[in-house]
Structure 1
């Protein structure tokens, strides 16, 4: 597919962009590391070299109480400008363009990070913050508006090509606009025009501060996904007010951090919220930017060709592959390391107070020290196991010039990625496998499938080093009856080796058990969503009729000795996964003990009462042990490295596996 609209230049105010792909704002937190600002500058410069049309930084706090803490990016003091100039200098040397995002978290700011009480239009505590905010007084509101303006002046002086005002995602400006968080009855709250006043005044003041020629983007909330919040009619009116206030472009954000509707997780269909940006575009004459779950430039091209937006913002796809724009311009789509929207190393890290990385690209944040260098001595290296750890190790080793042979005992590469990609909502893992197949073929890696490596064979063939990436072995717990015929392992279900009955008890309730439940529920669907849509459109069947056509759904029980279900799932996605399972009738039973497995099910004890959990099939998903026998057999015979699950068993962890592979690939 030839990309024409994507690479059509566009103006944002006085700034000409060479293409219509924007790298959206992300908090990555590199600033708090040693030499952190240099890391951040290198991170942005690498994306500039990858031909991002415009980069928007993570939010830079306009006031200390509205920030992410002292080590994070700030723009409320003149001394902040020195660090900011390091960023703009490196991006411009890479021939890129970069905008600073002016940010105030409002009631989302955490006192334990900033040292200040959070502030908000009304003293209503956010469900994702343990501290209740203090209500802003009239003078403080004026001071805060001016802080946005002064932050914009500092950004301009620091060499940024534009600024973006953060007015979305439930942060301060959004809090003023929404009737859910703004309960004031003065000139800053009440009816819509007064609730909108704060955001409009910020826009006007920033425009006045930087002059008419300096580009300003306003990131507005297109849809809050919060009950009883701003209506679509009010949202479109606000968009027109921002245009009149002198904004050069509107970047349409989706949802609040406290919303119970997924917006960027893998389960969200690609481009699910472009329609919101399209509605905004229909009422304004300035460029409108669409975002959320757009991870392929061919998808962006279609959005632009259809006139649904003027630009497309991608954030996490630039973590997964800094060169996504350049590769796509050269029609090398299969070489793009596609963002799979897992959240595990980006958002989950940030919400845990860690720096961001990427599951499929652990190079993020390590652009300088992990730059791939040719091997000093090229070697013949065997990589045993073609799961994520082995695939990444082989890729990096081959890129550095080693002769690499992958040996995989099964008849396909991917290891337990092949389990994940079967799960409804996790189909993006297919992209990761496509990427590795393309890279290994391009780099000339020999892949031997159906090959069970032994220490003797590896030594006899003359391998100089070996990487053992043999993964894990499912663990069978010591429960009476675990050897009965209707008891199976989770891997047997994923590999389609066994037939699963109508009533299922899963021993274990971690991430694997959750994936199994989704997979088994999918098998019960006799009508696809596309068919259901067709039947409704032509009134062939009512919704009730469609439901009647389905067989009765499987009954699934997830059992766990401990208190928590879904351990191993990421903080930002766990709630959505468990909510989905609950809505599909999966029963989660915790804080119990196993008595025994019987032909009729699983006998448990809970609060000193015994209960039989009926089950035609009992699936064991109770962890795993490292498959490290080859590693021990090779010690003393060949230089050997062990990575991934073979090194450390636990919940399936592709993030750690790929990082292990990337590290070992750089040290041999």
Structure 2
């Protein structure tokens, strides 16, 4: 194991950028692109796109790439058409390994058997049964089937190395098959692959030994090990350490740490999880084994990653989503451009939320991710350079200005307020979304580096824009008004009855909510406002210890699986004074039903814990001195509240676009409308940013 040493290129990240001898492979730095399925792995027709995606990360300078999971056999596929490391597929993958190696990169293939998580009828698991994540009941693996699984892992690993991969990773975490064999809750076998902790780890150890024999000593063998299952009946810490030592004895070169099963009721990767929340466990494992250890989960900040390595808490750091956001992060660090790193905000909206519903992943702040062959920012020839005005400094405007400038156009960005950020700036004020501010800081730095002129506090007129070739209107949205008696927002509390405010007034602190609050609208913004009004102060996201207590995460040495029931919120253990908050929606559907697949359940859990009173199928009538009048379940009632917050959707702010269109002539600038100014329904930052880049790419 090589020790970190100063890098001549960027001493600020000397540990992160130092090389490492891993097995018989030398990595250029300690950054690992962790495995993440992006939806390009399953179909041969997507191979060129997958190759371009992985090649871009190799050119960005990452030390080691781990692919998305490929099953060793049909029963282990995630879906019926899911990726499998069969002979034909691996032969085709030579285009990927050549692409990565031509960029001086290193890449290993992850072998993943889904077990009871497989959403297909051939699913097989240690003891049979159905998981919460699949509509199919898995069959119990026979003893012969278990032995056959060992052979199939070894065959798949050999095929991967023959295809040019530098090695393989065995997925033994996140609740997949190998993890299922290790946990008493899913392994109730009475044969040699069950019956106590030694029997439960027999299969993972046998597979590790067989794979090492199959790939030889020169190829890299990684094992993704679960440090904290976060499910009742999971592993104990002592069992994890014994497994780790057994894996090292069987030839595993590196242990990549994983946290939490996919079915766990504790968040592990969303933005409300504190940065580095699970590093102490990684450090503990590193102190007990003699092979390098990779830290993971919410370690997207290069400064934090550097600290983890410099303190000796890990040997490498895994960043998956961060390298979706910025494939050139390692190169930027090495060149002293850390301020220009595109910040991952762990929102999951365009990546994991898409993958879990069978769509291709991308990235909210980098729509080119996994779309490298389709969304191309080609530099313009000098004679084709255009003067471009971008009006509006929200996410769509920021990305439009940046993309146009990076192509070589001369860009000026106008923002009517004194701050950039638009709706994203408001989102950053929600407890648990503090990292959204990182994205805004990154945009500001990149705009400056690209030479974009920024005019704050200016709302340009058509006359101001007459000298530009193109105007990109990204003026965003405004809160939708409610056309009912008493619903007009008021700057000051009335003499009697509730004050009506918009969510924007509340989050920008132009208004203060009282002790009894009604929130009109239970979409994403309504849920955010409910959390803003009820979350503990300070936010648990800013204190890893408080967050672990908040979610019932405990020492796996003391509690099997490392999780207990999370404590309920009370005034005694909560820094915020308890409020009575009502969250109301017209729809009959479950509140939060439209939120992201990986994040919605977290928000709903927080609402329940905070005691937010939820109302569905509501008809609003009026607001007067008595309060908010409504009809619920066919009965009229009045909510006696101090404050009513309007979160009833948004409307496009498109006045400028209309003015420019009305006065257009042959010499007028071309007008492009993007983001919320184009479509306000279901406020969607991912769509807005992607549309902005598409427009800029076509200028």
Q: TM class, shorter-chain normalised?
A: over 0.9
When residues 443 and 552 of structure 1 are mapped into structure 2, their CA distance, relative to the original with a 3 A threshold, is closer
**Separation in structure 2 between the aligned mates of residue 22 and residue 531 of structure 1, nearest angstrom:** 24
RMSD after superposition: 2.3
Q: Which moved more, 1:212-221 or 1:349-358?
A: 212-221
How far is the alpha carbon of 1:528 from its aligned partner? Answer: 11
**Separation in structure 1 between the aligned mates of residue 488 and residue 305 of structure 2, nearest angstrom:** 52
How far is the alpha carbon of 1:285 from its aligned partner? Answer: 0.4
When residues 314 and 526 of structure 1 are mapped into structure 2, their CA distance, relative to the original with a 3 A threshold, is closer
Matches within 5 A, 1:123-142: 123-142=128-147
1:573 corresponds to: 599
How far is the alpha carbon of 1:35 from its aligned partner? Answer: 4.1
Aligned-partner SS, 1:300: helix
2:698 corresponds to: 667
**Separation in structure 2 between the aligned mates of residue 641 and residue 531 of structure 1, nearest angstrom:** 44
How far is the alpha carbon of 1:455 from its aligned partner? Answer: 2.4
Aligned partner (choices 76, 81, 91) of residue 82 of structure 1 = 91
Q: Which moved more, 1:520-529 or 1:443-452?
A: 520-529
Indicate if the aligned counterparts of 1:524 and 1:553 stay in contact, CA closer than 8 A. no
Aligned length: 653
How far is the alpha carbon of 1:503 from its aligned partner? Answer: 0.9
Indicate if the aligned counterparts of 2:98 and 2:164 stay in contact, CA closer than 8 A. yes
**Separation in structure 2 between the aligned mates of residue 162 and residue 599 of structure 1, nearest angstrom:** 71
Aligned partner (choices 502, 509, 528) of residue 489 of structure 1 = 502
Q: Which moved more, 1:336-345 or 1:295-304?
A: 295-304
2:443 corresponds to: 436
**Separation in structure 2 between the aligned mates of residue 61 and residue 167 of structure 1, nearest angstrom:** 13
Aligned partner (choices 60, 66, 80) of residue 76 of structure 2 = 66
How far is the alpha carbon of 1:527 from its aligned partner? Answer: 11
Structure 2: gaps spanning 5 or more residues = 1-10, 491-498, 550-567
1:5 corresponds to: 15
TM-score for the superposition, normalised by structure 1: 0.94
**Separation in structure 2 between the aligned mates of residue 653 and residue 519 of structure 1, nearest angstrom:** 20
Aligned-partner SS, 1:277: helix
1:388 aligns with 2:414: no
Q: Which moved more, 1:318-327 or 1:116-125?
A: 116-125
How far is the alpha carbon of 1:525 from its aligned partner? Answer: 6.0
How far is the alpha carbon of 1:546 from its aligned partner? Answer: 8.5
**Residues 592-636 of structure 1, C-alpha deviations (whole Å, 9 max, x = no match):** 222322334322222222232221000110001111222122223
How far is the alpha carbon of 1:69 from its aligned partner? Answer: 4.0
How far is the alpha carbon of 1:499 from its aligned partner? Answer: 2.3
Aligned-partner SS, 1:479: coil
When residues 59 and 531 of structure 1 are mapped into structure 2, their CA distance, relative to the original with a 3 A threshold, is closer
**Separation in structure 1 between the aligned mates of residue 633 and residue 414 of structure 2, nearest angstrom:** 49
Aligned-partner SS, 2:84: coil
Indicate if the aligned counterparts of 2:109 and 2:165 stay in contact, CA closer than 8 A. yes
Indicate if the aligned counterparts of 1:511 and 1:567 stay in contact, CA closer than 8 A. no
Indicate if the aligned counterparts of 1:596 and 1:604 stay in contact, CA closer than 8 A. yes
1:463 aligns with 2:488: no
1:601 corresponds to: 627
When residues 175 and 319 of structure 1 are mapped into structure 2, their CA distance, relative to the original with a 3 A threshold, is same
1:539 corresponds to: none
**Residues 563-611 of structure 1, C-alpha deviations (whole Å, 9 max, x = no match):** 2322542110010011112211212211222232233432222222223
**Residues 196-246 of structure 1, C-alpha deviations (whole Å, 9 max, x = no match):** 111111111111212233221111111100012111111111111111222
2:517 corresponds to: 504
When residues 344 and 62 of structure 1 are mapped into structure 2, their CA distance, relative to the original with a 3 A threshold, is same
2:408 corresponds to: 401
2:558 corresponds to: none
TM-score for the superposition, normalised by structure 2: 0.90
How far is the alpha carbon of 1:521 from its aligned partner? Answer: 2.6
Aligned partner (choices 557, 565, 587) of residue 613 of structure 2 = 587
Aligned-partner SS, 2:168: strand
**Separation in structure 1 between the aligned mates of residue 677 and residue 331 of structure 2, nearest angstrom:** 36
**Separation in structure 2 between the aligned mates of residue 586 and residue 544 of structure 1, nearest angstrom:** 12
Aligned-partner SS, 2:463: helix
How far is the alpha carbon of 1:375 from its aligned partner? Answer: 2.4
**Separation in structure 2 between the aligned mates of residue 525 and residue 3 of structure 1, nearest angstrom:** 30
Matches within 5 A, 1:71-110: 72-76=82-86, 78-110=87-119
How far is the alpha carbon of 1:530 from its aligned partner? Answer: 6.5
Aligned-partner SS, 2:93: helix
1:165 corresponds to: 170
2:534 corresponds to: 521
When residues 311 and 512 of structure 1 are mapped into structure 2, their CA distance, relative to the original with a 3 A threshold, is same
**Separation in structure 1 between the aligned mates of residue 260 and residue 417 of structure 2, nearest angstrom:** 43
1:480 aligns with 2:485: yes
How far is the alpha carbon of 1:248 from its aligned partner? Answer: 1.0
**Separation in structure 1 between the aligned mates of residue 603 and residue 576 of structure 2, nearest angstrom:** 23
When residues 58 and 560 of structure 1 are mapped into structure 2, their CA distance, relative to the original with a 3 A threshold, is same
Indicate if the aligned counterparts of 1:55 and 1:98 stay in contact, CA closer than 8 A. yes
